[in-house]
Amino acid sequence: MKEVKVALLGCGTVGTQVARLLGEQAEEFAARSGAKLSLVGIAVRDASAPRDPAIDTALLTEDAESLVDDADIVIELIGGIEPARAHILRAFAAGASVVTGNKALLAAHGPELYEAAAEADVDLYYEAAVAGAIPVVYGLRESLAGDRITQVLGIVNGTTNYILDEMTVAGLSFDEALAQAQELGYAEADPTADVDGLDAAAKCAILASLAFHTRVALDDVHVHGIREIAAEDIKAAAASGHVIKLLANARRREGGIELSVGPTLIPVDHPLATVHGSFNAVVIEAEAADRLMFYGRGAGGAPTASAVLSDVVAAAAHKVSGGHAPRELIYGALPILPPAETIARFQLELAVEDKIGVLTEVSGVFAKHGVSISAVAQNYVRSDKRGETCRLTVTTHEALRRDLEATLAELEASSFVAEVVHVIRVEEN
């Protein structure tokens, strides 16, 4: 049986699980890939640092370059841009295939890496970079290769889903839910990348590139985080049969692709509504397949290691029997729509004067800007900094964001609207 030399770069939570499983299930990997997978070294910054007992310390090295040069498959779990990028390009140049879980690197330098892999005729696999154990990269790049994808809509950040779920289920405030997530290790001390939607945006860019065969950069994604979501927004959503989720949305429309990450209202019987805790899920809409959903653990050492190892088995099988992973063909090259040109349904909560005729005035502003209203509810009157006001919840039909912004500007400047309390995108079932 052919031996395939595997080099592991990085030995954190995921790397430790990868090394453990490679040892424990060696026979199964051999049967599945047709090759004996030999872990030949683990590159770390400090080889003398304490390690999990699952790690054979004799494999540790601080010389990543030499390790890469000697490998058939390189598993990159360092994260960040450099030196991860340099190591991957070095691996390709030496004829090695690469398995990575590095979403930041792919979102920033994906096309360069895809091309380098194709040129060297080796594999680049990255299932672990998006939604952990969930095989959504496969779903987009292989399973739906016989179809045309129209939308990818997903919960791709477990931290924010945990926070919103705790706000919904346990009635916590954002700050309380965040503190709890930090205590449990679901959120980092600096939660910016998660709660401001940046982590989800990187994954959105990778998913959109795959779904639409188009180069998408992180900056192309219109991002909005969840810091402004209040407990009362969650309650109001529940009252209308909705939940609020932070969704990554990539949709093909006439004229191009729209890309956004932001809090979104979805009906309680939407398949994404029952995704609780730190689980992730991605809905894919395709012309022939209709709706598919993939659900599972979006993070964690063992689940992410499972995704890494399935990629390693596929790459090893190619080393034995030929063939290669599907190439990232950028043949679609669809234009990316600026946020103002995107279309969505919105729900607005307006604090208005409690007087006869205000509804006519409000609806007149929407009509003037071509934004069609699907429903209006007068929620409650309450006292706040603006005195007694009445709350109007206005839900629109699909509207251009540009028209919505113009509507909002005029409402905010008007005498009869005290405040636009919030605006949130609405996704239908």
Q: How far is the CB of 354 from a copy of itself (least distance, A)?
A: 39
Binding a copy of itself (rule: CB under 8 A), the pick from 203, 215, 222, 297 is 297
Q: Which stretch binds a copy of itself (CB under 8 A): 139-147, 202-210, 359-367, 370-378?
A: 139-147
Catalytic one of 5, 103, 203, 245: 203
| Choice between 33 and 393, CB closer to a copy of itself | 33
183 touching a copy of itself, by CB under 8 A: no
Q: How far is the CB of 134 from a copy of itself (least distance, A)?
A: 6
Site for a copy of itself in 70-109 (CB under 8 A): none
370 touching a copy of itself, by CB under 8 A: no
The dihedrals phi and psi of 135, each to the nearest 5 degrees, come to -80, 55
Q: Are 396 and 371 in contact (CB under 8 A)?
A: yes
> DSSP per residue over 198-257, as a string?
HHHHHHHHHHHHHHHTS---GGGSEE--STT--HHHHHHHHHTTEEEEEEEEEEEETTEE
Residues contacting residue 367 through CB under 8 Å, at least 6 positions apart:
none
Site for a copy of itself in 31-50 (CB under 8 A): 31-33
Q: How far is the CB of 329 from a copy of itself (least distance, A)?
A: 5
Q: How far is the CB of 408 from a copy of itself (least distance, A)?
A: 34
Q: Are 210 and 328 in contact (CB under 8 A)?
A: yes
How far apart CA 295 and CA 275 sit, in angstroms, is 8
Which residues on neighbouring strands pair with residue 261, listed in sequence order?
A: 223, 248
Distances (CA, A) of 316 to 37, 132, 319: 8, 21, 5
- 297-300's contacts with Cβ under 8 Å and 24+ in sequence apart are 297/132, 297/133, 297/134, 297/158, 298/131, 298/132, 298/133, 298/134, 298/155, 298/156, 298/157, 298/158, 299/132, 299/158, 300/13, 300/132, 300/133
The radius of gyration of the chain from alpha carbons, rounded to an integer in Å, stands at 24
Q: Which of 26, 32, 12, 27 is nearest to 310 (CA)?
A: 32
36 included as an active-site residue: no
| Choice between 110 and 225, CB closer to a copy of itself | 110
What's the distance, CA 246 to chain centroid? 10
Q: Which helix (H) or strand (E) holds 406?
A: helix 401-413
Binding a copy of itself (rule: CB under 8 A), the pick from 331, 360, 413, 415 is 331
396 touching a copy of itself, by CB under 8 A: no
Binding a copy of itself (rule: CB under 8 A), the pick from 42, 307, 348, 358 is 307
The token pair at 348 is 């607005």
Site for a copy of itself in 205-234 (CB under 8 A): 213
Beta strands in 21-118 (DSSP E): 35-43, 60-61, 73-76, 97-100
368 touching a copy of itself, by CB under 8 A: no
Amino acid at 238: A
Number of residues in contact with a copy of itself under rule CB under 8 A: 62
239 touching a copy of itself, by CB under 8 A: no
Q: Which stretch binds a copy of itself (CB under 8 A): 29-37, 57-65, 184-192, 227-235?
A: 29-37
| Choice between 117 and 221, CB closer to a copy of itself | 117
Q: Which stretch binds a copy of itself (CB under 8 A): 22-30, 86-94, 240-248, 404-412?
A: 22-30
| Choice between 10 and 303, CB closer to a copy of itself | 303
Catalytic site positions: 203
By CB under 8 A, name the binding residues for a copy of itself. 17, 21, 25, 28-29, 31-33, 127, 133-135, 138-139, 142-148, 213, 269, 271, 273-274, 276, 281, 286-297, 300, 302-303, 305-314, 317-318, 321-324, 326, 329, 331
